[in-house]
Copies of this chain bind each other. A is one copy, B any other.
Amino acid sequence: MGKTSTRRIRLDLLTPAEKSIYDAMQVVEKMAADERLTEAVCLLEQAQNKVADYVDEQLSMK
């Protein structure tokens, strides 16, 4: 955990890809209470973390 470890929870530091996944999550969360929608939000969170893993690695190599 280096200086990039808190980047992913700061909206102003998200890359366009992470921000667009985050935004999609907000839209799904507003839809309704349904198990499939909750699963979708979990999958979106996992996707955002995969992208963040890549971005954090790129930043740590600079």
Describe A's contact surface by its main secondary structure.
Answer: helix
Chain multiplicity (copies): 2
Report chain B residues within 8 Å CB of A34.
Answer: 54
Contact of A51 among B17, B40, B48, B54 (CB under 8 A): B40
Minimal beta-carbon separation of A24 from chain B (angstroms): 4
Closest beta carbon of chain B to A56's beta carbon, Å: 10
The CB with the most chain B CB atoms within 10 A, among A23, A24, A37, is that of A24
- Establish whether residues A44 and B27, one from each chain, have CB atoms under 8 Å apart when the complex forms: no
Q: Would you call A31 and B17 a contact (CB within 8 A)? A: yes
Answer yes or no: A2 CB below 8 A from chain B CBs.
no
Q: Are the C-beta atoms of A20 and B20 separated by less than 8 Å? A: yes
